[in-house]
A = this chain, B = another copy of it.
Amino acid sequence: MKDVAARAGVSLGTVSNVLNRPDRVSASTRDRVLAAIGALGFVRNEAARHLRSGRSRTLAYVALDTANPFFTDVAKGVQEVADAAGLGVYLCDSGGDPARQASYLDLLEEQRVGGVLLTPADAADPRIAQLPQRGTPVVLVDRAAPDAEHCSVTVNDVLGGELAFTHLAEMGHERIAFIGGPLGLKQVSDRLLGARRAMCAWIEADLTVVECEALTVAEGRRAGERLAGVPASRRPTAAFCANDLLALGLLQQMVQLGLRVPEDMAIVGYDDIEFAQAAAVPLTSVSQPRHLLGRTAAELLLAEADVTLGHEHRHLVFAPELVVRSSTRHHR
């Protein structure tokens, strides 16, 4: 800025004014300063601006796993809102590792980012409570805040389970399998709970739980083997999978064993990832408003960062939607 001022024949303060309050500067000097900036290739130093102003122009989203399309879609929603507010976004990937989550949170606090969006790998990390206490607001994404210390945005998994089960029951299925696990995951148990609730309305329908060790394609295949081993007369005619990876694995196994989808086995997945519709038999799936989740989380964060005092934490819950495709059509 000193060089710019010298070249334009003005003082340092005037250059600053051109940058921050151009209306306070006469047109002619403004043009001269702008010309000098262009000629010298001057670029503002954000570290200095931040230090002086005390405000950071960046947010961060610490995602659970960027390899999962769910989180990159959430991230896109976050970016949109941040862009509109003229803020940058750090996208960090904890990869499900508590240690990496911890080191990112430390790093971000040192950076004094304007706020942190977090889908925790370790919800018990004391940093999650400390950050807001020390002035960095935190919004939890896809994870409810048990302590009301933060805002949070989540999707109603119980409702998702209800939607999936009801759809299968309406298609005439009576022997239905729930494939998912570990049941310790709230997301999984809520989806199962929803399915069970929906079952109350369908006296003839029955639900068998096939528990898995993880929400992976490989586990989906294993579940498929187990189901295929059951005699056709007793085998479930439909499966509700706790996520799309399981559903894809199940579908793959069915195809390989020569069972038809949906004729021998209808399948509903969860998450509606891009590849759900790219499957050999396009997959019916429960879709979550990922983009909106990200947008809303970012908006809550900005709201909290704006208000110095008296912020009311909010906990927003969104509704999922069922997307029907070939993997459940044509029963009866």
- Which positions in A face B, CB cutoff 8 Å? 41, 43-48, 50-51, 56, 66-67, 69, 72-73, 75-76, 79, 83, 88-93, 95, 103-104, 107, 109-112, 130, 134, 217, 245, 248-249, 251-252, 255-256, 274-275, 277-282
Q: In the complex, which residues of chain B have a beta carbon less than 8 angstroms from the beta carbon of A279?
A: 252, 279-280
Q: How far is the CA of A69 from the CA of B249 in the complex (A)?
A: 19
Q: How many subunits of this chain does the assembly comprise?
A: 2
15 of the cross-chain contacts (CB-CB < 8 Å) are A47-B47, A47-B56, A47-B111, A48-B51, A51-B51, A66-B66, A72-B72, A79-B93, A88-B111, A89-B92, A91-B91, A217-B277, A256-B280, A279-B280, A280-B280
Known: A67-B72, A248-B275, A280-B280. A44 touches B110 (CB 8 A): yes
- Looking at the complex, which one of B90, B275, B278 makes contact with A90 (CB distance below 8 Å)? B90
- Residues of chain B lying within 8 A (CB to CB) of residue A112: 45-47
Pick the contact of A275: B48, B89, B109, B275 (CB < 8 A): B275
Chain B residues closer than 8 Å to A67, beta-carbon distance: 69, 72-73, 76, 274
Chain B residues lying within 8 Å of A275, measured Cβ to Cβ, are 248, 275, 278
Inter-subunit contact B110/A43 (CB<8 Å): yes
Q: Do most interface residues of chain A lie in helix, strand or loop, or is the interface mixed?
A: helix
Q: Assess the B41–A51 pair: CB atoms within 8 A.
A: no
The reply to whether B47 and A66 contact each other, CB–CB distance below 8 Å, is no
**CA gap between A44 and B111 in the complex, in Å:** 8
| CB nearest neighbor in B for A65 | B72
* Cα–Cα, bound, A104→B87 (Å): 11
- With A217-B277, A248-B275 given, can you name 5 additional A-B contacts, CB distance below 8 Å? A43-B110, A72-B93, A79-B93, A91-B92, A255-B281
Q: How far is the CA of A79 from the CA of B107 in the complex (A)?
A: 14
Smallest CB separation, A129 vs chain B (Å) = 12
Q: B residues within 8 A CB of A75?
A: 66, 93
Chain B min CB distance to A44 (Å): 5
- A72 surroundings in chain B (CB, below 8 A): 66-67, 72, 93
- On whether the beta carbons of B134 and A45 are closer than 8 Å, the reply is no
* Chain B residues whose CB sits within 8 angstroms of the CB of A255 once the complex forms: 255, 280-281
- A90: which B residues are within 8 A, CB to CB? 88, 90-91
CB closest chain-B residue, reference A108 = B88
Question: In the bound complex, how far is the Cα of B75 from the Cα of A93, in angstroms?
Answer: 9
| CB-based contact A130/B252 at 8 Å | no
